[in-house]
A and B are shown apart, each in its own frame.
Chain A
């Protein structure tokens, strides 16, 4: 199946500054891709290029098989975009605004009513149809922003920091909505809230100084090839190196070790068996999961001391 978004070698200059440097983004149906990065990394610029608000200085963008730069009016029909600040008209009511948004996306007039109802229901805006947008709280304005992005049932939904400014309950609801939408559509969301990425996304792309530094599935990212081991009896480190699959061992504290090696996760059972046979008094064995914070800091700060500190704190 072809990709929903296929963006190759995007560059974007702001005057002399190169804000996005050779970033390629790919998105398939049923995928929720998180675009991560520190402030000013170029996330929003990337998203704006993907939905045609900004033109890339170089590179090509293909949305669902249509070139965005050559046929913008066809390609954009498949995009729903929520900018960092919801693009609302405060003087309109929710229903009026969403109808206008549907009209702009060239939805047939006969379908608008049904789609409006569906979007309102999906975003939990029932009962707010005839409220002025200006009178809604920030959280509900954000919901209206999401509703305008999905009202025309686009293949691709692009959300720029969708949960900013929401209360914890609303955040949970929006995450649920994103997960639900992600089943049928492709979603890209940018954020710097790392737990959110863990909660909803299945792939992570990190951008730093305008460059794409990592693009991995969340499960791959968590793999650290390290195992925590706690034993009751003291053992020689050299002995531990004989464990299956282990290439190096470090002693964290007395009787606590970290084993490293390729694909250690898969040989956990063998290691535990070995320990029992040797009668070392196995107390604890667990794979070390990379936290996103760690990966994020490792890749973006380039300063390993901070990352090491975070690891220590976590331990």
Chain B
């Protein structure tokens, strides 16, 4: 049942021009950025030869590329997630789901996985770009794998937050604005942490940036994974609760 809902969601996404536009925009910008990073690498290369244990292509091209893609995903994620529930509420099709023998959990998980599947396609396409370097140089596959894992966990967290915001609002635009605001907050919250030593740990812990940056360096830390998993599960549970409470008292 979850699968049917997820597939319908994914199908509808690709039937609208929005998904294709987002894929196109991401590919275009990432390609430009990729070229930029490679160019930068070439200018540094003479210097790098002199250094022992110098950072390689993976550190100087792929890691920054993945890091940059997070900003793009942050901007584009709300555009996809905003419609998940609020559009169905607005045009009344949610009643089909609610009157069907489907639980709230199945509805939410179906929607979540549908949107997540789209973003997995996005990050795989982004991941393919640096893999094209494979033919001409040695790549640190471990680091790339860790980076991809980081990408996946980050977008899983983004989508869960977007889904929750969408469950709160009847207007997709409101959901998008809310998602955008909160995602940015979670992105920059550690900047406040840097100011004081005491609050540092706490604010760093809340920050998405803090947890994803380690994986780009090839360090897969259980604490970081736990953060993303808890973040996603938390917002999924909140969405289920929200949908149920609307049925009880609207």
Chain B residues near A103 (CB, 8 Å)?
1, 4
Interface residue? B93 (CB, 8 A): yes
Chain A residues near B15 (CB, 8 Å)?
91-92
A200 to B230, CA, bound (A): 55
Interface residue? A76 (CB, 8 A): yes
Contacting pair A104 B4 (CB below 8 A): yes
Instruction: Indicate which residue in B93, B101, B248 contacts A89 across the interface (CB closer than 8 Å).
Output: B93
Interface size on B, residues (CB 8 A): 25
A14 to B246, CA, bound (A): 11
Interface residue? A83 (CB, 8 A): yes
Chain B residues near A296 (CB, 8 Å)?
none
Chain B residues near A91 (CB, 8 Å)?
12, 15-16
Contact residues of B: prevailing secondary structure: helix
Residues of A within 8 A of B (CB): 13-15, 48, 51-55, 72-77, 79, 81, 83-92, 96, 100-101, 103-106, 148
Q: Identify the closest chain A residue to B4 (Cβ).
A: A103
Residues of B within 8 A of A (CB): 1, 4-5, 8, 11-12, 15-16, 91-103, 247-250
Contacting pair B95 A83 (CB below 8 A): yes
Contacting pair A104 B96 (CB below 8 A): yes
Contacting pair A53 B4 (CB below 8 A): no
Chain A residues near B247 (CB, 8 Å)?
53-55
Contacting pair A73 B99 (CB below 8 A): no
Known: A91-B15, A106-B1. A54 touches B101 (CB 8 A): no
Known: A89-B12, A91-B12. A104 touches B93 (CB 8 A): no
Contacting pair A85 B92 (CB below 8 A): yes
Q: Identify the closest chain A residue to B13 (Cβ).
A: A91
Chain A residues near B103 (CB, 8 Å)?
72-73
Instruction: Indicate which residue in B11, B94, B101 contacts A105 across the interface (CB closer than 8 Å).
Output: B101
- The 18 sampled A-B contact pairs (Cβ below 8 Å) are A52-B98, A53-B98, A53-B247, A72-B103, A73-B103, A74-B101, A81-B99, A89-B12, A91-B12, A92-B12, A103-B4, A104-B1, A104-B4, A104-B5, A104-B96, A105-B100, A106-B1, A148-B96
How distant is B170 from chain A, measured CB to nearest CB, in Å? 14
Contacting pair B95 A81 (CB below 8 A): yes
Given A54-B250, A89-B8, A91-B15, 18 more A-B residue pairs with CB atoms under 8 Å apart are A53-B98, A53-B99, A53-B247, A55-B247, A75-B101, A81-B95, A83-B95, A86-B92, A87-B93, A87-B95, A87-B96, A90-B91, A92-B8, A92-B11, A92-B15, A100-B4, A101-B96, A104-B5
Known: A54-B247, A55-B247, A91-B15. A106 touches B96 (CB 8 A): no
Instruction: Indicate which residue in A14, A51, A89 contacts B99 across the interface (CB closer than 8 Å).
Output: A51
Contacting pair A55 B248 (CB below 8 A): yes
How distant is A147 from chain B, measured CB to nearest CB, in Å? 12
Known: A54-B247, A83-B95. A73 touches B102 (CB 8 A): yes
Known: A89-B12, A104-B4. A76 touches B92 (CB 8 A): no
How distant is B66 from chain A, measured CB to nearest CB, in Å? 32
Instruction: Indicate which residue in B1, B91, B94, B100 contacts A76 across the interface (CB closer than 8 Å).
Output: B100
A101 to B1, CA, bound (A): 11
Chain B residues near A53 (CB, 8 Å)?
95, 98-99, 247
